[in-house]
Amino acid sequence: MKAMVLKQIYNLEEKQNPLELMDLPDPTPKEKEILVRVSACGICHTELDEIEGRTPPPRLPVVLGHQIVGRVEKAGSRAIKFRMGDRVGIGWIGSTCGKCQFCLGGNENLCPEFKATGRDLDGGYAQYTAIREEFAYAIPEVFSDLEAAPLLCAGAIGYRSLRLTGMEAGKNLGLIGFGASAHLVIQLAKHKYPNSKIFVFARTERERNFARELGAFWAGEMEDDSPEKLNCAIDTTPAWKPIVEGMKNLEKGGRLVINAIRKEEIDKEFLLKLDYAQHLWQEKEIKSVANVARNDVSEFLQLAAKIPLRP
Ligand SMILES: [Zn+2]
Ligand SMILES: [Zn+2]
């Protein structure tokens, strides 16, 4: 098969085209695996973190890509969940142990043996990929292949992030950064919490206008004071300044969830501006969101189809 392969870690300032087109053997599905013929695979900021070594693949070369849509072409001898030709999606969660305290306690995203699609396992920038059948999802009819792909990471992680903020009807929600995930979360939040106000912080006027089009109550710049305090906020940026600025805008007892697998180092000194009284006192919280569990992906896909949500 043809595949776009990462052979080494690169600095993207110096290397603009880090993936190489190669011929690789077609994957052979193991007993409980399916072979998927890939039709679409999204691009996520996490690929940049992999290429630049902030979350490096454990072996190279590797096929990146973890927002995969395709059709089942072959099944292992004990794979029974799908039929040939079924349309399926694959997300970041590629495998877990199924027996540790985290897996058994409903937090399989924290499993020490968590294997990520397109990092620990070969992913979707190829004609074919193989996956354990229980880590693939049926894709709702309402979405085309291209529409469905970004739902598998940007959407699913946004769904998990929104859940982890503790958001409730009527509360104020902040979205810090407005890209692949946040433009889906705003649609999801408008649907789930129609009486809540959503405040968007974004770097460009284009993003702020897009946020207003999608129903933001207010949109401003990263360092702006929001016109009302935020009970919940989600940060999707790779930087530190937006977190400090976001904490400033939180209501007492508010929570900011960081939806980023890694932060970059460029503006880390901004953390020295963190002022305990202004940014953390009064029981404000910061929490990260790690990976996704399968429930996040499958629940989100069903809800996204019902809304229906448009990437
Ligand atoms: Zn992703
Ligand atoms: Zn486990």
pLDDT in tens, the chain (311 residues): 999 999 999 999 999 999 999 999 999 999 999 999 999 999 999 999 999 999 999 999 999 999 999 999 999 999 999 999 999 999 999 999 999 999 999 999 999 999 999 999 999 999 999 999 999 999 999 999 999 999 999 999 999 999 999 999 999 999 999 999 999 999 999 999 999 999 999 999 999 999 999 999 999 999 999 999 999 999 999 999 999 999 999 999 999 999 999 999 999 999 999 999 999 999 999 999 999 999 999 999 999 999 999 99
Q: How far is the CA of 49 from the centre of ligand 1 (A)?
A: 10
Q: How far is the CA of 260 from the centre of ligand 2 (A)?
A: 22
The whole-angstrom separation of Cα 91 and Cα 135 is 8
Report the pLDDT value the prediction gives residue 198, as an integer from 0 to 100: 98
Q: Which of 33, 108, 101, 64 is nearest to 292 (CA)?
A: 108
Residues in the chain, overall count: 311
Q: How far is the CA of 227 from the centre of ligand 1 (A)?
A: 32
Report the pLDDT value the prediction gives residue 211, as an integer from 0 to 100: 98
Residues 229, 249: contact at Cβ < 8 Å? Answer: yes
Which pairing describes strands 19-23 and 2-6: parallel, antiparallel, or unpaired? antiparallel
Q: Which of 237, 233, 226, 167 is nearest to 195 (CA)?
A: 167
Residues 72, 63: contact at Cβ < 8 Å? Answer: no
Closest ligand, as measured to the CA of 153: 1
Q: How far is the CA of 103 from the centre of ligand 2 (A)?
A: 4
Q: What are 130's strand-pairing partners?
A: 35
Q: How far is the CA of 110 from the centre of ligand 2 (A)?
A: 7
Closest ligand, as measured to the CA of 293: 2
Q: How far is the CA of 51 from the centre of ligand 1 (A)?
A: 13
Q: Which of 7, 144, 124, 22 is nearest to 65 (CA)?
A: 124
The token pair at 111 is 């499993």
Residues 67, 41: contact at Cβ < 8 Å? Answer: yes
**What are residue 246's phi and psi, to 5 degrees?**
-65, -40
Q: How far is the CA of 211 from the centre of ligand 1 (A)?
A: 21
Closest ligand, as measured to the CA of 179: 1
Residues 6+ apart with CB under 8 A from 119: 46, 50, 55, 57, 58, 62, 64, 66
Q: DSSP assignment, residue 99?
A: S
The token pair at 85 is 């030709």
Report the pLDDT value the prediction gives residue 119, as an integer from 0 to 100: 98
Q: How far is the CA of 132 from the centre of ligand 2 (A)?
A: 15
Determine the longest span between alpha carbons in the chain, in angstroms: 61
**What are residue 255's phi and psi, to 5 degrees?**
-130, 135
Q: DSSP assignment, residue 211?
A: H
Start-to-end C-alpha separation, the chain: 29
Question: What amino acid occupies position 300?
Answer: F
Q: How far is the CA of 292 from the centre of ligand 1 (A)?
A: 10
